A and B are shown apart, each in its own frame.
Chain A
Amino acid sequence: MNNTIGLINGVAHVLPEDPWCLVDDDQPLDSISSPIISFARWQSLREKGDLDQLSCGVLLGPDDDPETVAPGLDTLPLIALEFPSFRDGRAYTQANLLRTRYGYKGDLRATGDVLRDQLGLMRHCGFSSFAVREDKSVLEALKGLFGFDMIYARSVTNPEPLFRRRSAK
């Protein structure tokens, strides 16, 4: 995907050659090295035993329940979550659940209406890469991961809420 930022050892970088691409359901997979396919397609390939588990990523829509991918999480290299609009916050909860409840360790990518001013929130909820909206400058967006970042509650990146850290002092 173009315009993508990734966390490398926790530090944000622009990924110049990101191999992943979103693939429509009617597009064949053979020519694509790192496709991200829809959840429905992923499920049906998996049931048929046709899924190349190690090279396919899956895209969850905001209505999809993260629990349904839980059985395949160990081998999934990438899960993309979609922000149909940056004002639709369901993917924050999905990301948090994938990381904290289902223990997903692979790459968790934000796609769709992904904008600079929300990147820090996404990182807190467990996203590790960000496909910034194509009409935006990825270098500008990168700044979104270096500014204001303080919270009180716990998050995926701050597993302890502030009050536990405060009292540890």
Chain B
Amino acid sequence: MYRYDEYDHALVQARVAQFRDQVARRLSGELSEEEFLPLRLQNGVYLQRHAYMLRVAIPYGTLSANQLRALARIAEEFDRGYGHFTTRQNIQFNWIALERVPDILQLLADQEMHAIQTSGNCVRNITTEAFAGVASDELIDPRPLAEILRQWSTVNPEFLFLPRKFKIAISSSEMDRAAIRAHDVGLYLYRGENGEMLLRVMVGGGLGRTPILNETIREALPWQHLLTYVEAVLRVYNRYGRRDNKYKARIKILVKALGVEAFAQEVEREWEQIRDGVAELTSEEYARVAHEFQAPDYERIDAIDPDFGAWLARNPAFSVWVQNNTRAHKMPGYSSVILSTKPGTSAPPGDVTAEQMRVVADLAEKYGFGEIRVAHEQNLVLPDIRKRDLYALWKALRAQNLATPNIGLLTDVISCPGGDYCSLASTRSLPVAKAIQQRFDNLDFLHDLGELSLNISGCVNACGHHHIGNIGILGVDKNGEEFFQITIGGAQGKESSIGKVIGPAFRAEEVPEAIDRLLSVYLSYREVEERFVDTVRRIGIAPFKEGVYQRETAKVEASA
């Protein structure tokens, strides 16, 4: 894991002192709310419906056991005993008093964490996938470059007042698990013919009210140019991005307006001016940072462990969990374990209690190398677990309600907090998530359905990424009443696509039934081993539309 050096420490400490002073000036009235707003946003503080919310960055999704314990302490001492993990490797605390935020930031700084730029019109937390460094399908560990970008973008004075928020994700595996195509800048890291590290730079993605996947503006960029290239993109955006209309201010709108080629040319022209200067990365710097991400001391063990095999055979529940909630590791004899934060109706997706956090921290130390990851799907990951320890770990996780074997299945719902917390919400998304989890709680049925993502957003801002869920649910307000529009066929990853609306929206209580009908259509059409999304791609949305609305149509016809 990356450890702060003196400079990193000094920076976060100085930043806490600065924000403490700003909060004091706000409380004394010296700063108006308007003047204070961007300052608090750039320190992660939002005003929600009932209270302030603090969003803490978990850069590239990596936490140490002690960092997770610090988060548990914050949940307990400053909030109501839990935190909410988001889709972009942040954690949010929902019930925070503004005057206590500086003390929380101090706790974070002491554990090498911060909330800098987790909100506001600036470069946000740099994200990557939860299995970085351990996935068996990984080409290159993306974390060193993610950390280098984190540092570069932190308090970068030219780019703190951009037209709109700016999200960057980097990934380097066969499967993209970081939703890089939905980002303002998506970076894909790979090797060239001679083994050199290269980047594909994709610009202009984003969901919100205008969902767009980003497009490639540069192939085969040598890694040394990472910072200058991103700088060129940001400079073009800062100069020419729209500022007259908040909904047209993301870089995706600029890219569309200029056309991706013209935009790319503009970036290249800017880049030519700065490419070979002092900002070009050095091998020394890469080596310095990469050193911090060295693999831990793995034991040399056999890929097959007889005890593990015996437990698999003896305990079907364990075996189902292993099949669903563990992932292949690059080291023989090891697995990565996914902890589901979606136990069903007992807790909203992404919510984790202080007690659970402490237990997970202990387990990470007992069975792993003291490291925890946060996944885009709002789940936690223990990246390095010996297969022989899986059974004991499973039992410990079960006791904490963190072993629901539903990773990648229908009930592994991604949902935004919606109207229960968020002041922008049109609808309450959490009760819909809960109703779906309640209706589809039969594990055998879920496993039979197979891989299926379901994403819910409480309004058009699309925080729940509904556009790229295989099934997407969007809450809309119609004359003061909550309705939910359903899309199908969305996907993240290398085959990203934006889902299509199947028809008129539903009332909250009708949603589970509509999902049920969608699933019946799928089950009647699917070919062997075909995933939901592939069936949609093969047969189109018409049969689904028919299946879902048939009864209504029948009714209309009968009365006509």
Partners in one complex: yes
Q: List 24 A-B contacts (CB under 8 A).
A: A86-B161, A88-B243, A89-B158, A89-B162, A90-B243, A92-B159, A92-B238, A117-B22, A117-B39, A121-B157, A122-B157, A124-B157, A125-B157, A147-B14, A148-B15, A148-B18, A150-B11, A153-B227, A153-B279, A161-B279, A163-B148, A164-B282, A166-B288, A167-B282
B559 within 8 A of A: no
Q: Which residues of A contact B30 (CB under 8 A)?
A: 140
CB distance A151 to B157 under 8 Å? yes
CB distance B285 to A87 under 8 Å? no
Q: Which residues of B contact A163 (CB under 8 A)?
A: 148, 151, 281-282, 285, 288
A160 within 8 A of B: yes
CB distance A155 to B158 under 8 Å? yes
A46 within 8 A of B: no
CB distance B157 to A115 under 8 Å? no
Q: Which residues of A contact B159 (CB under 8 A)?
A: 89, 92
A88 touches which of B7, B156, B161, B282 (Cβ 8 Å): B161
Q: Which residues of A contact B153 (CB under 8 A)?
A: 153
How far in angstroms is the closest Cβ of chain B from A64? 11
Given contacts A90-B239, A162-B151, A166-B5, 12 further A-B contacts (CB under 8 A): A90-B238, A101-B273, A117-B22, A117-B31, A122-B157, A148-B18, A152-B152, A153-B152, A162-B7, A163-B281, A163-B288, A164-B278
Residue of A nearest to B10 (CB): A150
Q: Which residues of A contact B284 (CB under 8 A)?
A: 167
CB distance B279 to A93 under 8 Å? no
Q: Which residues of B contact A125 (CB under 8 A)?
A: 157-158
Q: Mark B217-259, 1 if CB is under 8 A from A, else 0.
A: 0000000000100010001001100010000000000000000
* Interface residue ranges of A106-137 to B (CB < 8 Å): 115, 117-118, 120-122, 124-125
CB distance B161 to A92 under 8 Å? yes
B262 within 8 A of A: no
How far in angstroms is the closest Cβ of chain A from B37? 9
CB distance A166 to B157 under 8 Å? no
* Interface residue ranges of A35-73 to B (CB < 8 Å): none
Contact residues of A with B, CB < 8 Å?
86-90, 92-93, 96, 101, 115, 117-118, 120-122, 124-125, 140, 147-155, 159-164, 166-167
How far in angstroms is the closest Cβ of chain B from A55? 30
B345 within 8 A of A: no
* Interface residue ranges of B249-275 to A (CB < 8 Å): 273
How far in angstroms is the closest Cβ of chain B from A130? 14
Query: For the complex, what is the distance from the CA of A161 to the CA of B282, rounded to whole Å?
Result: 11
* Interface residue ranges of B268-298 to A (CB < 8 Å): 273, 278-279, 281-282, 284-285, 288
Contact A152-B151, Cβ < 8 Å, known A162-B7, A166-B288: yes
Q: Which residues of B contact A124 (CB under 8 A)?
A: 157-158
B529 within 8 A of A: no
User: Does more than half of chain B's interface fall in helix, strand or loop, or is it mixed?
Assistant: helix
CB distance B278 to A160 under 8 Å? yes
Residue of A nearest to B162 (CB): A89
Query: For the complex, what is the distance from the CA of A140 to the CA of B11, rounded to whole Å?
Result: 23
Contact A117-B156, Cβ < 8 Å, known A90-B238, A150-B11, A162-B7: no
Residue of A nearest to B281 (CB): A163
Nearest first, the 7 A-B pairs at minimum CB distance are A89-B161, A124-B157, A148-B18, A121-B157, A163-B285, A152-B151, A150-B11
Query: For the complex, what is the distance from the CA of A159 to the CA of B7, rounded to whole Å?
Result: 17
CB distance B156 to A93 under 8 Å? no
Query: For the complex, what is the distance from the CA of A80 to the CA of B151, rounded to whole Å?
Result: 31
Q: Name the residue in B5, B10, B282 with the highest tally of chain A Cβ atoms < 10 Å from its Cβ.
A: B282
CB distance B35 to A117 under 8 Å? yes
Query: For the complex, what is the distance from the CA of A164 to the CA of B160, rounded to whole Å?
Result: 23
Query: For the complex, what is the distance from the CA of A87 to the CA of B36, rounded to whole Å?
Result: 11
Q: Which residues of A contact B285 (CB under 8 A)?
A: 163, 166-167
CB distance B152 to A92 under 8 Å? no
CB distance B22 to A87 under 8 Å? no
* Interface residue ranges of B470-508 to A (CB < 8 Å): none
Residue of B nearest to A122 (CB): B157
Contact A89-B238, Cβ < 8 Å, known A150-B155, A166-B285: yes
How far in angstroms is the closest Cβ of chain A from B146? 14
Query: For the complex, what is the distance from the CA of A163 to the CA of B162, rounded to whole Å?
Result: 25
Q: Which residues of A contact B523 (CB under 8 A)?
A: none
Query: For the complex, what is the distance from the CA of A152 to the CA of B151, rounded to whole Å?
Result: 6
CB distance B152 to A161 under 8 Å? yes
B38 within 8 A of A: yes
B406 within 8 A of A: no
CB distance B160 to A89 under 8 Å? yes
Residue of A nearest to B150 (CB): A152
CB distance A154 to B279 under 8 Å? yes
Q: Which residues of B contact A118 (CB under 8 A)?
A: 161
Residue of B nearest to A133 (CB): B35
* Interface residue ranges of B17-48 to A (CB < 8 Å): 17-18, 21-22, 30-31, 35, 38-39
Q: Which residues of B contact A149 (CB under 8 A)?
A: 14
Q: Which residues of B contact A151 (CB under 8 A)?
A: 154-157
Contact A86-B35, Cβ < 8 Å, known A92-B157, A93-B238, A125-B157: yes
How far in angstroms is the closest Cβ of chain B from A9? 21
Contact A150-B162, Cβ < 8 Å, known A117-B39, A161-B278, A162-B151: no
Query: For the complex, what is the distance from the CA of A140 to the CA of B30, rounded to whole Å?
Result: 10
